[in-house]
Amino acid sequence: MRSDITYSDSGVDIDVADEAVQRLIPHAESTFRKEVLSEVGGFGSIVALPDGYQEPVLVSGNDGAGTKTLVAKSLGRYDTIGIDVVAMCVDDIVTSGAEPLFFLDQLTVGKVDPEIIEQLVIGFASGCISAGCALTGGEIAEHPDSMDDNDFDVAGFAVGVAERADLPTKTSVVQGDLLVGLASTGLRCNGYSLARRVLMTGRPLDEPAWSGSDLSLGDELLRPSVIYAPTVLKAFRQHEVHAAAHITGGGLAGNLKRVIGDQVDIGLDVQTWRRPQIFDEIVRKGPVSEAEMRNVFNLGIGMVLIVPNDQKDEIIELAEMNAHEAWVIGQVTEGSGEVGWIDQ
Asked whether 221 and 187 are in contact (CB, 8 A), the reply is: yes
In angstroms, the Cα distances linking 279 to 81, 227, 315, 342, 343 are 21, 20, 26, 20, 18
Q: Could you tell me the pTM of the whole model?
A: 0.94
Are 188 and 293 found together in one domain? yes
Under DSSP, is residue 239 helix (H, G, I), strand (E, B) or coil?
coil
Position 14 confidence tier, pLDDT thresholds 50, 70, 90: confident
Provide the domain count of the chain. 2
Q: Is residue 21 part of a domain?
A: yes
Phi, psi of 163 (to 5 degrees): -80, 125
Q: What is the pLDDT of residue 10?
A: 64
Q: What is the CATH number of the domain that holds 334?
A: 3.90.650.10
As a three-state string, the secondary structure of 254-317 is: HHHHHHCCCCEEEEECHHHCCCCHHHHHHHHHCCCCHHHHHHHCCCCEEEEEEECHHHHHHHHH
Domain boundary among 125, 151, 166: 166
Q: How far apart are CA 107 and CA 114, in angstroms?
A: 12
Mark whether 161 and 193 lie in a shared domain.
no
- Round to whole Å and give the CA distance between 35 and 67: 34
Q: How many CA atoms lie within 13 A of 116 on its CB side?
A: 22
- Contact (CB, 8 A) for 204 and 291: no
Q: Render pLDDT for 124-181 as a digit per residue (tens, 0 to 9).
A: 999 999 999 999 999 999 999 899 988 999 999 999 999 999 999 999 999 999 999 9
Based on the fold, state whether residues 29 and 67 are members of the same structural domain: yes
CB 204 within 8 A of CB 167: no
pLDDT of residue 23: 84
* pLDDT(329) > 80: yes
Average pLDDT, the chain: 94
Q: How many CB atoms lie within 10 A of CB 195?
A: 26
- Is residue 46 included in any domain, yes or no? yes
For residue 279, the model assigns a pLDDT of 97
Better pLDDT: 10 or 47: 47
Per DSSP, which regions of 10-164 are E strands? 56-64, 99-109, 134-142, 152-163
Provide mean pLDDT across the span 267-291: 96
Tens-place pLDDT, residues 81-119: 999 999 999 999 999 999 999 999 999 999 999 999 999
Confidence category of residue 1, pLDDT binned at 50, 70, 90: low
Would you say residue 242 has pLDDT above 80? yes
183 and 162 within one domain: no
Helix, strand or coil, per DSSP, at residue 109? strand
The residue among 166, 187, 220 that closes a domain is 166
- From CA 75, how far away is CA 62, in angstroms rounded? 26
User: What average pLDDT does this structure show over 219-223?
Assistant: 97
Judge if 128 and 241 occupy the same domain: no
Q: What domain range includes position 70?
A: 14-166
| pLDDT class of 7 with cuts at 50, 70, 90 | low
CB 77 within 8 A of CB 109: no
**pLDDT-above-90 percentage for the chain:** 87
* CA gap 328, 315 in Å, rounded: 10
Give the end of a domain, one of 142, 166, 190. 166
Q: Are residues 295 and 180 located together in one domain of the fold?
A: yes
Does residue 165 come out as left (phi exceeding 0), alpha (psi in the -120 to 50 range) or beta?
alpha
Do residues 277 and 285 make contact, with C-beta atoms less than 8 angstroms apart? no
Closest alpha carbon to 78 in 189, 147, 154, 186: 154
Could you give the 3-state DSSP secondary structure of residue 159? strand
Band (208; pLDDT cuts 50, 70, 90): very high
Q: Is the pLDDT of residue 344 over 60?
A: no
Same domain, 182 and 105: no
Q: Is the pLDDT of residue 58 over 80?
A: yes
Task: Note the pLDDT of residue 87.
Answer: 98
- Same domain? For 208 and 108 the reply is no
